[in-house]
A and B are shown apart, each in its own frame.
Chain A
Amino acid sequence: MSISQHRSCASISDRVKRLSPSGIRKFFDLLASMEGVVSLGVGEPDYTTPWHVREAAIRSLERGYTMYTSNSGIPELRQELSKHLKAHHDVTYDPNGEILITVGVSEGMDLAMRAILNSGDEVIIADPSYVAYEPCVILAGGEPVKVPTSLENDFELRAADIEERITDRTRAIFIGYPANPTGAVMGREGLLEIAELAQRRDLMVVSDEIYARLVYGVNHTCFASLPGMRERTILLGGFSKAHAMTGWRIGYAAAPRDVIAAMTKIHQYTMMCAPTMAQVAAAEALKAGDAGVNEMVADYNRRRQLIVTGLNSIGLACFEPKGAFYVFPSIAATGMTSEEFSEKLLVEEKVAVVPGSAFGQCGEGHVRCCYATSVADLQEALGRMKRFVERHRK
């Protein structure tokens, strides 16, 4: 059955036309038509939201909390976030005026870019990086400038590489560590160098820290906590990953007052507020403390070690990813492009991984595997991938 081929009279904007359609559409379509696939292609926890959080949302509905909230979000959630940011990252934000509740980090990124960019302003982005960074910059009228990162540096962004690409139009550095798709983290040293650069060249830093809680054996450094950085950082975070709340769509932005005011202005005209029951649920997630999150992190860590060891042993070399829930093995052993590899693996062995090229040129030669899936599925996927690699080793 084919969808109508007639074109409308609408003229689509140049900005939208410029956004690359997801390069792996064909791959998605193929996947949708298949049965029995073990997917390492997801980007969300395999946990359902903890029951006490769901229960809090149900109760809020029963009590009739069904109206809009203030544009900034419910005070209780902003207060809890303020306490949380202080306790975990040693950064201080006033819940009144320096924290905005957004519809996921996705909205936060969009608001941040629209709030700070003038037409033609350049924004530094790591290559590879999360697929939405570049479109967010373009839609806000900016110009993304990619800075390559590589396996040799464990996919960390280096200040020297950034500096080479800074021009008089550069407005901001957009970082996201722990990183999707690589699982890379950045240590305090590397971040301090970026901080020094931002100071010296007077740049804003937008820091997507959605995976901040998912680190293994290392501490997460919040960019805004570095000396002098609170003034020039827009900190973005959310509940999706650490609290297994992807479908609730709750994120937040924390930044200096004038920046939050600007972001709130856009938010109030385009979104009004984040969903009320989801905000209540998010507040409950924070109030419950760290035990539940820590347990999930310990569980991810066990699976992380399983998949890293497994991939290395079948000849798909990977560096040790210390954050998020992704591994980014090299597929050099097969001599295939990442798209070829992913498509063949899906067709021949029914295992779904995401081609690294979907995240930028520098992701080529790698595939993203998510280990937020059951141990049984991980074992099954590794077995199938082993067969595949043995068959296609060049």
Chain B
Amino acid sequence: MKEILKILEDDARTSVEQIAIMAGKSVDEVVAFIKQAEQDRVVLRYKAVVNWDRVEDEQVRALIEVKVTPEPDFGFDAVADRIARFPQVRSAYLASGNYDLLLVVVGKNEHEIANFVSEKLTHIKGVQGTVTHFVLKRYKEDGEMLEAGEEVKRQPVIL
């Protein structure tokens, strides 16, 4: 059944009929599996990988290291949960190394992100300190190269 997830991960718009053929299952099996996967939160959402750099819309992205004092009963989880609920936070990870949490944060401009850090993040109990790295350029997003370079063409017929 991992087959079905692979197909969806590659192109979430693939029809259930086509998935059934490609995975060698019946349509009913595929429908049932996907429903279950959605219920179990194995499949979280279906969405597009957007290259915002190609759109006029300005968007700034920062990686923020957060140092946290763990809480007695909850460790890092309670603080991480409070931080992750902010919509500006696109991804949040607990990481090994010199800091504890690594966040990917987006905003309309540097100012908005600076505000988020000074007004929200540092006010959360348990947050000891932050280091903000503004992203200067994106090369790859979620497995996709943003500038693929020129397409290499195959010979149309090769025996």
B69 on the A face (CB < 8 A): no
In the complex the two chains form, what is the Cα distance from A31 to B155 in whole Å?
A: 11
Q: Are A309 and B21 in contact (CB under 8 A)?
A: yes
Shortest distance in angstroms between A26's beta carbon and chain B's nearest beta carbon? 12
Q: Which A residues are closer than 8 A to B by beta carbons? A: 22, 27-28, 31-32, 37, 39, 41-44, 46, 48, 130-131, 298, 302-303, 305-306, 309-310, 352, 354, 358-359, 375, 379
**Of A43, A303, A310, the contact of B158 (CB 8 Å cutoff):** A43
In the complex the two chains form, what is the Cα distance from A354 to B156 in whole Å?
A: 11
A-B CB contact pairs (8 Å), 16 listed: A27-B157, A31-B157, A39-B154, A39-B157, A41-B158, A42-B155, A44-B158, A302-B3, A305-B22, A305-B23, A306-B22, A352-B156, A352-B157, A354-B159, A358-B159, A379-B18
Closest-by-CB residue of B relative to A27 is B157
Nearest 3 pairs of A and B residues by beta carbon = A41-B157, A302-B22, A43-B158
Q: Which B residues are closer than 8 A to A by beta carbons? A: 3, 6-7, 11, 14, 18, 21-24, 152, 154-159
In the complex the two chains form, what is the Cα distance from A309 to B27 in whole Å?
A: 14
In the complex the two chains form, what is the Cα distance from A38 to B96 in whole Å?
A: 49
Given contacts A302-B3, A375-B11, contact A42 B23 (CB under 8 A): no
Q: Are A46 and B154 in contact (CB under 8 A)?
A: yes
Given contacts A298-B3, A302-B3, contact A31 B156 (CB under 8 A): yes
Query: Which B residues are in CB contact (< 8 Å) with A375?
Result: 11, 14, 18, 22
Q: A39-B154, A42-B157, A302-B7 are in contact. List 5 more A-B contacts (CB 8 A).
A: A31-B156, A42-B154, A43-B158, A298-B3, A306-B22
Query: Which A residues are in CB contact (< 8 Å) with B21?
Result: 305-306, 309-310
Closest-by-CB residue of B relative to A132 is B159
Shortest distance in angstroms between B36's beta carbon and chain A's nearest beta carbon? 21
Closest-by-CB residue of A relative to B155 is A42
In the complex the two chains form, what is the Cα distance from A352 to B157 in whole Å?
A: 8
Query: Which B residues are in CB contact (< 8 Å) with A48?
Result: 152
In the complex the two chains form, what is the Cα distance from A60 to B87 in whole Å?
A: 47
Q: Are A303 and B157 in contact (CB under 8 A)?
A: no
Q: Are B18 and A43 in contact (CB under 8 A)?
A: no
Shortest distance in angstroms between B5's beta carbon and chain A's nearest beta carbon? 12
In the complex the two chains form, what is the Cα distance from A28 to B157 in whole Å?
A: 7
In the complex the two chains form, what is the Cα distance from A195 to B144 in whole Å?
A: 49
Shortest distance in angstroms between B35's beta carbon and chain A's nearest beta carbon? 21
Closest-by-CB residue of A relative to B18 is A306
Q: Are A354 and B152 in contact (CB under 8 A)?
A: no
Closest-by-CB residue of A relative to B21 is A309
Query: Which A residues are in CB contact (< 8 Å) with B23?
Result: 302, 305
Shortest distance in angstroms between B96's beta carbon and chain A's nearest beta carbon? 25
In the complex the two chains form, what is the Cα distance from A43 to B155 in whole Å?
A: 9
Q: Are A354 and B154 in contact (CB under 8 A)?
A: no
Shortest distance in angstroms between A225's beta carbon and chain B's nearest beta carbon? 29
Query: Which B residues are in CB contact (< 8 Å) with A27?
Result: 157
Query: Which B residues are in CB contact (< 8 Å) with A359?
Result: 159
In the complex the two chains form, what is the Cα distance from A302 to B30 in whole Å?
A: 14
Closest-by-CB residue of B relative to A307 is B21
In the complex the two chains form, what is the Cα distance from A359 to B159 in whole Å?
A: 9
Closest-by-CB residue of A relative to B17 is A309
Query: Which B residues are in CB contact (< 8 Å) with A130?
Result: 159
In the complex the two chains form, what is the Cα distance from A25 to B136 in whole Å?
A: 52
Closest-by-CB residue of B relative to A309 is B21
Q: Are A131 and B159 in contact (CB under 8 A)?
A: yes
Query: Which B residues are in CB contact (< 8 Å) with A302?
Result: 3, 6-7, 22-23
Interface hub of B14, B156, B158, B159 (most chain A Cβ within 10 A): B159
Shortest distance in angstroms between A108's beta carbon and chain B's nearest beta carbon? 17
Q: Are B22 and A42 in contact (CB under 8 A)?
A: no
Query: Which B residues are in CB contact (< 8 Å) with A298?
Result: 3, 6
Q: Are B156 and A303 in contact (CB under 8 A)?
A: no
